[in-house]
Amino acid sequence: MGSIGSMTKPTEGFLSALIQYPVPIVESRADIDAQIKQIVKMIHSTKAGYPGVELIVFPEYSTQGLNTKKWTTDEFLCHVPGPETDIFAQACQEAGVYGVFSLMEKDPDGGAPFNTAIIIDPNGEMILKYRKLNPWVPVEPWQAGNLGLPVCDGPGGSKLSVCICHDGMFPEIAREAAYKGANVLIRISGYSTQVNDQWILTNRSNAWHNLMYTLSVNLAGYDGTFYYFGEGQVCNFDGTTLVQGHRNPYEIVTAEIYPKLADQARLDWGLENNIYNLGTRGYVATPGGVKENPYTYIRDLANHQYKLPWEDEIKIKDGSIYGYPVKTEIKHV
């Protein structure tokens, strides 16, 4: 189950590589182009060092950095698909790998940008596009994603889904991915050290609650303001950590993943089959279990009526603390 020295593809499953990419210092479009070239270089060098690798994952903000003064300007944004994704697609095809990439996407309808992740397959096809459902407010100015949480086929019998950074702090995200069939949840992140412990905790809990593997990787290094902790983490479907990276920029965290075992647990387990038991409560007493929703917050959320008992007293409800203009329009997606 471990991955010490992994460099070859396992007989069943697949070999993954999480890249603790150094936080980019990006001041211009030329800097973004340089990052794209470096990412492509890392795809090929990782494949050369780990010939059996089939999935390579880059963190959030690895393409365009975290320059908050410029990150919503046109020169810093990308179209998805676009020239940048074409370059990544060619690299994946040449290396024969699946790749996960982060892009700040220009809204084709003229709204605020999206924080987007994509998966490209070894044929150079974009097989998944995801827009971050839960931007890290009040820091991030991105629109809340509007593509749901898609799932796609991956290597070694996997069903892949991707979430981005703060998404992983919401248990509903991982549950949604699993409910749609994902047995591997990828989390790409650009967190600084303030939430290091919570990162480790939620990666494990997301795996355990849903009987799925979680593959999570963060930026690493110092950008002159914050330190980014790296610590790529691979969790087993029982919630234990299989591999834990350190804080080193450019560290490559490899792990052997066996989706078939997660699938088997979902079929064979009883006591801890949490994702099944959620919708079939008390099936010993009630054949087939109770199907009715007992959760107030789920009903209210579905009806656009979600409101906390202390909501009127919450102090920060917009981005003004970070200099963003206050907007009053409420948008139902």
Which residue in 263, 168, 273 sits closest to 216, CA to CA?
A: 168
Residue 84 among the catalytic residues? no
Q: Is 289 exposed, middle or buried (0-12, 13-18, 19+ CB in 10 A)?
A: middle
The 3-state DSSP composition of the chain as helix, strand, coil percent (nearest 5) reads 30, 25, 45
* 165 carries an active-site annotation: yes
CB 141 within 8 A of CB 112: yes
Question: Do 27 and 70 contact (CB within 8 A), yes or no?
Answer: yes
Tokens of 298: 């789920």
Angle between helices 196-210 and 171-179 (to 10 degrees): 30
Q: Exactly one of 47, 54, 60, 163 is catalytic; which is it?
A: 60
Instruction: Classify residue 281 by its DSSP letter.
Output: B
Tell me the C-alpha distance between 15 and 12, whole Å: 10
Q: Distances from the Cα of 120 to the Cαs of 36, 126, 131, in angstroms?
A: 15, 4, 15
Q: For residue 105, indicate whether it is catalytic.
A: no
Catalytic residue among 47, 106, 129, 132: 132
Say if CB 231 and CB 197 are below 8 A apart.
no
Choosing from 140, 165, 231, 251, the catalytic residue is 165
Residue numbers annotated as active site = 60, 132, 165
